[in-house]
C-alpha cells in the first residue's frame, strides 16, 4: 500500500481473483476499505496489529477487546481472517509488549468464540536466529531468546504457528563469499550443505530449519512455521534483476509444498509483495512487486 499510484482496494482484490492460485493476502494493519473489498471472496487473510498499537493492546484487555470487535468481529466470517500477526519484526524495548498483547488479543477472540477459528501469532525476521549453521544447531540469539522463549512456548500452548519473514536475498548479498547465487535461487544442481542425515540444496530450507531447531531448543518442537514474507527484488540493487526475482519466486512457489529436509510439512507461504511501491525508500525497497501499479506483471509467474 506504500504507493501513490496503486489500484483501488477493490481492484486489487479483483486482481487477486483473476490470478488463479493467489488464495491468500497479508495486510499490515486492519484497513477497512481492504476488509470491505475482501467480503465474500474466501481469500484467506493474515491481518497485522500495527507495531504502534502494541503498547495499548499489551496494557489493556479492553483495548484488545475493542480492536477485535472493530477489526475482526465486524468482518468475520465474511472475510476469511486466518491469522492475526501481533506486531511485525518488533525490535528493541517493544519486544516485551508482544506476548502481553498476543494474550490480550487471544482472550478477546476467546470471549467472541473465535479462538479456534483465528490463530494469534507474531511475525519475526530471521535476525532472531543467533546461530544458523548448520541448521540443526539453530538457536535464538541471547537478545531474542529473552522474549522468543516465552512467545514460542505460548504458541505451543495455543496451537498456533510462528510467522517468519525469510529472505535468502539478504543472506546472499551480505555473504557472497560463502553463499552462491544458485544456492539462494533454488537452482543448485547438487547438495551444498550436509547436516547429519539432512541435505540442503537451497538456502531457504537451511534458514527455515535453523528456525525450527531454535524453537525446539526452547520447548516449541510442536510449533509450525508460516512464511509470512519471502521474495526477491527485481531492480534497484545488488543481484536485483527481473530474471533473479522470477527464478526465486517461481522456484519458491514450486518448492514450499514439499516442506524442508527437517519437516516435510507443506509451508504456507506469502510472497512479498503484490506491487512495486514508489513511496518506499529508493532502491530495492521499491522493487519487490510481482505487479506494476498498472496491474501488469513484472515477470511471468504461475501461482499454482
Taking residue 141's Cβ as centre, other Cβ atoms within 10 Å add up to: 14
Distance CA 279, CA 171 (A): 25
Side-chain-side CA neighbours of residue 142 (13 Å)? 0
Nearest C-alpha neighbor of 142 from the set 95, 183, 105, 100: 95
Q: Which three cell numbers stand for residue 106?
A: 487471544
Is 89 a known active-site residue?
Answer: yes
End-to-end CA distance of the chain: 25
Give backbone dihedrals phi and psi of 87, rounded to 5 degrees, phi first.
90, 145
3-state secondary structure of 28: coil
- Coil, strand or helix: which one is 73? helix
* Distances in whole angstroms, Cα of residue 280 to Cα of each of 2, 87, 288: 6, 20, 11
Active site residues: 89, 229
Amino acid at each position: 500500500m506504500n504507493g501513490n499510484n496503486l489500484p483501488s482496494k477493490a481492484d486489487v482484490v479483483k486482481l487477486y481473483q483473476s490470478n488463479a492460485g493467489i488464495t491468500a493476502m497479508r495486510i499490515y494493519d486492519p484497513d477497512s476499505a481492504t476488509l470491505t473489498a475482501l467480503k465474500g471472496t474466501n481469500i484467506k487473510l493474515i491481518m497485522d496489529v500495527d507495531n504502534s498499537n502494541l503498547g495499548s493492546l499489551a496494557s489493556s484487555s479492553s483495548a484488545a477487546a475493542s480492536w477485535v470487535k472493530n477489526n475482526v468481529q465486524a468482518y468475520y466470517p465474511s472475510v476469511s481472517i486466518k491469522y492475526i500477526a501481533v506486531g511485525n519484526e518488533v525490535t528493541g524495548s517493544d519486544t516485551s509488549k508482544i506476548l502481553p498483547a498476543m494474550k490480550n488479543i487471544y482472550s478477546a477472540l476467546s470471549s467472541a468464540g473465535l479462538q479456534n477459528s483465528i490463530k494469534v501469532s507474531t511475525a519475526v525476521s530471521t535476525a532472531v536466529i543467533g546461530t544458523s549453521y548448520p541448521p540443526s544447531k539453530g538457536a535464538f540469539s541471547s537478545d531474542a531468546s529473552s522474549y522468543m522463549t516465552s512467545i514460542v512456548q505460548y504458541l505451543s500452548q495455543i496451537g498456533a504457528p510462528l510467522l517468519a519473514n525469510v529472505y535468502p536475498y539478504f543472506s546472499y548479498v551480505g555473504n557472497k563469499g560463502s553463499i552462491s547465487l544458485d544456492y539462494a535461487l533454488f537452482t543448485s544442481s547438487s547438495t551444498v550443505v550436509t547436516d547429519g542425515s539432512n541435505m540442503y540444496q537451497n538456502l531457504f530450507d537451511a534458514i527455515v530449519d535453523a528456525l525450527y531447531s531454535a524453537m525446539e531448543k526452547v520447548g516449541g518442537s510442536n510449533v509450525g512455521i508460516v512464511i509470512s514474507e519471502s521474495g526477491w527484488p527485481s531492480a534497484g540493487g545488488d543481484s536485483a534483476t527481473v530474471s533473479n526475482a522470477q527464478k526465486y519466486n517461481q522456484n519458491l512457489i514450486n518448492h514450499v509444498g514439499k516442506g524442508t529436509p527437517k519437516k516435510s510439512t507443506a509451508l504456507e507461504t506469502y510472497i512479498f509483495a503484490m506491487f512495486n511501491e514508489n513511496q518506499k525508500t529508493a532502491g530495492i525497497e521499491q522493487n519487490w512487486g510481482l505487479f506494476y501499479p498498472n496491474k501488469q506483471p513484472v515477470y511471468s509467474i504461475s501461482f499454482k
